[in-house]
Amino acid sequence: MKLCKYILFCWILLLLIPSRSWGEVKNPDALLELTRQKAKETDALLQQIKEDNEIMAKYVLLLFSNPPKKSVYNPNIYTFDEKGVYGDHQKRSQTSVWFKGKSGSLPEEVMKQIRATESMEKRYKELKKRYDYIKWIYLITAEGVIRVYPRETKAKYPGDSDPREFMAYVLAGPEKNPQRQTVWTEPYKDHQEKWMVTCSTPLYERGTFLGVQALDITLEELKEKVLKVKAGKSNVALLIDKKGNILAQISQTKGDKKEESFNYTHLALLPDESIQGIIQKLSEGREGVVKLNIQDQRRYFAFVPVKTPGWIYGIISKM
């Protein structure tokens, strides 16, 4: 008898507890509130990635100032190639360290950096395991050494390449970043035309710039973590930059059937007269919810800024 009463109590309790379901978001105000929540969650995740990259930067500085007495560096696994590039032995197709020097010798400071950071691959591997949407984690020093994980094909770093020209290095360096803060790049497309973004932390020791600690995030992978929402009869969740580029999207309908009709790459392509005014609001960092007419169907579009990288989280919902 007691067991039956307990089961009945639990059943009533479940009925009383509100849950986020398809039927919950039935009006524009609720849609905007949901979008605020998802933007906040996305911001918190990116903020955590930023902080983890800064922790990695502190570890690099510790290695530079207090090199390990017993380095795991093994000179036998490295060599110069015919272009004067120092990296993994030619019998290995990939490398974790790259430096363009003169065949046969390395500057003393470069050798110190390579020896000191030999254990970084293990640290990078642990960080990437936590965030599977990180594509690469790497260190670029002021001398031009790059330490990267996962290991990259040697062809990515040709003999005339200089990692100090990479966006992660330039934007976080002294000239572009005198405040010495961690920076996020504008979204950009990689060689596969996939949207990427880079988080880069400058390295300073006693006021001297030593390089940057950076990581690249692929938004195609990140969307699986942040864009799965259920709102109204069907919805499209979006990450958008302030220019209106749609960086990532996931479409869903009730029953988790994907809505194939939404395949836009920029908000300006949406067939609605008010879209230019909406893009203007996005560029100003404003939030709101507006009505749209897409393919002769009324939709509501809620948008909220994501603070950390300066994106916008959007949900287009059919109610």
Q: What angle do CA 290, 296, 301 make, to 5 degrees?
A: 20
pLDDT, position 293 = 83
Domain 21-46+223-318 identical in fold to domain 49-220: yes
Instruction: Give residue-wise pLDDT tens across range 227-240.
Output: 988 766 678 999 99
Q: How many whole angstroms separate alpha carbon 225 and alpha carbon 223?
A: 5
Read off the pTM: 0.84
Q: Rounded mean pLDDT of the chain? A: 84
Beta-sheet pairing, 297-306 with 134-141: unpaired
Instruction: Give residue-wise pLDDT tens across range 104-160.
Output: 678 889 888 988 898 898 999 999 999 989 999 999 999 999 999 998 776 666 666
Tokens 């959007």 sit at which residue? 314
Query: In terms of Cα–Cα distance, which of 315, 270, 276 is closest to 293?
Result: 270
Tokens 């200089």 sit at which residue? 162
How many CA atoms lie within 13 Å of 162's alpha carbon, on the beta-carbon side? 6
Domain definitions of the chain by residue range: 21-46+223-318, 49-220
Query: In terms of Cα–Cα distance, which of 114, 100, 107 is closest to 164?
Result: 100
Question: CATH assignment of 49-220?
Answer: 3.30.450.20
Tokens linked to 270:
């949406």
Percent of the chain with pLDDT over 90: 50
Q: How many whole angstroms separate alpha carbon 12 and alpha carbon 20?
A: 18
Find all residues with CB under 8 Å of 76, minimum gap 6, and list them: 89
pLDDT: which is higher, 152 or 197: 197
Question: CATH assignment of 21-46+223-318?
Answer: 3.30.450
For residues 85-100, give the mean pLDDT. Answer: 75
Assess whether pLDDT exceeds 60 at residue 15.
Answer: no
For residues 257-261, give the mean pLDDT. Answer: 52
